[in-house]
Amino acid sequence: MVRVRFAPSPTGELHLGGARTALYNYLFARKNKGQFIIRLEDTDRERLVEGSLERLLSGLKWLGLNWDEGPDIGGPYEPYIQSQRLAHYQHWAEELIKQQAAYRCFCSLQRLEVLRQVQQNEKQPTKYDRACLNLTQKDIQEKLSAGTPFTIRLKIPPGQTIFKDLIRGQIKIDNFSLEDTILLKSDGYPTYHLANVIDDHEMKITHVIRGEEWLPSTPKHLLIYAGFGWQPPEFAHLPNVLNIHKAKLSKRRDGEAVWVQTYKKEGYLPQALLNFLAFLGWHPKDNREIFNLAELEKEFELERVQKAGAIFDIDKLNWFNAYYIRSLPSEQLDNLLQPYYAAIAGGSYLPVGKTLLLTKLLQDRLTTLNSVISQANWFFHPPAILNPELIIPVQSSAGKTARALKEAIHILKNINDWKIENIKNSLEVLIRPGTFSRRDLLWPMRVALTGEKESPDVFGVAMVLGQKECLARLEKAEKIINQTNVL
């Protein structure tokens, strides 16, 4: 049975790279009828940010990635929060000493700091000099009885570590390049390496699918497995997510744009973000691009994940988002847009249940839900000040514009069934050589109805406003033109 896990550290929001890792783990589990587990790796107490777990989980839920075991729902190997599993790590660290794959290190922080400086000055690699590796049992007993604080370090054996990464192929590391890493700190907390290996073993994880930044840790992990005599899981290291400058997407450089939460706030749909994330490092056999989660669950193959970094291209995300907005049932989109409409209406009237036509009109024009804010103002607020110079098209005149508006008003008043085809067909009768060009008629109408130079289709705007409101706005514009002296 395939068992994979997403093991975030609680350092804040769900990162896009993290969400991509979670998604690939999820897809791999579902594709193989396996299980997807969430585990919180919170042993680095200095980097801990309060409330992270809730935010991470809510980000995953928003994306629709459900898990089978985790900190909130428990499971057969609970707890799924590392700080609640300290006794396991302490027990296993002692066990590793018995297996002679680890040893106690009594070096003080001060000694380690001096060592580091000396090595730096001598341009040597900075690495623990194994001063405590060969302490006698007597030395050790004395230090323990004296209460000298100690850490437990991995004893890196000579030789090479060779393993097969499912994405990168065979990887070979000279053990000499590795340090006797600390596994258990003097305060009894494990480091990432120990806790990660113990939990993956105890939780029966079969495949470790994680970001490329953890690749250098894998040989150490394999040596820990070997020290215990445990069968290691398989490993797959996913390519980095890069920004358009090809640097790793990072909070420091790219600000809040690295968080899933930011995209939610900016009006991206989870289906769009998921589809986009799936393509950050993977692509299917053919060139289809639109995949919902269920389709991804069937199509996803770890073998098709690329080695090279994947570039985060916001234009592509916008393209996916516009696509998914267009594809939503209009009623559903209308519901999603209600908070935005309320914000635009801003305390002025909000015609409850009356926005569906507006939503339908705008649906194809939205890139994000938020983009409705700059496109729907005219629906809620009649143009405040109408500038006659804006109403009159260049190359037309005040007289002609006044006539165009007058005739439009006349025609629109006589429509009995206020439907877009009727509005369009009747108005188009006015557009004839020798009378009005499209621009002569539609430009002033657009400005009169919306106050803007750009808007959705004028006939649609007229229809959405309703006959009464439409006529009122046109009449107001006509009056303004008639009052100008530029005739």
Instruction: Kindly list the residues in this chain that would bind ligand GLU in the complex (CB under 6 A).
Output: 7-9, 41, 196, 210, 214
Beta strands of 185-335 (E only): which ranges? 207-211, 234-238, 241-242, 310-311
Supply the DSSP string of 254-278, one letter for each residue.
HGGGGBHHHHHHTT--HHHHHHHHH
The least CB distance from residue 220 to ligand GLU, in Å, is: 12
The least CB distance from residue 394 to ligand GLU, in Å, is: 59
Q: Which amino acid is at 34?
A: G
Residue number, 85 or 210, with CB nearest to ligand GLU: 210
Supply the DSSP string of 430-485, one letter for each residue.
TB-TTSB-HHHHHHHHHHHHHSSS--S-HHHHHHHH-HHHHHHHHHHHHHHHHH-S
Residue 403 backbone phi and psi in degrees, to 5: -65, -40
Name the residues annotated as catalytic.
251
Residue number, 8 or 232, with CB nearest to ligand GLU: 8
How far is the C-alpha of 418 from the C-alpha of 414, rounded, in Å?
A: 10
Cα 33 to Cα 25, 27, 86, distances in angstroms: 12, 10, 31
The least CB distance from residue 17 to ligand GLU, in Å, is: 9
Evaluate whether 204 touches 76 at the Cβ level (below 8 Å): no
Q: What's the sign of the alpha-carbon dihedral 345, 350, 353, 355?
A: negative
The least CB distance from residue 23 to ligand GLU, in Å, is: 14
With CA atoms as reference, report the closest residue to 409 among 449, 379, 438.
449
The least CB distance from residue 241 to ligand GLU, in Å, is: 13
Residue number, 153 or 220, with CB nearest to ligand GLU: 220
Residue number, 176 or 230, with CB nearest to ligand GLU: 230
Residue number, 41 or 212, with CB nearest to ligand GLU: 41
SS3 content of the chain, % helix, strand, coil (to 5): 50, 10, 35
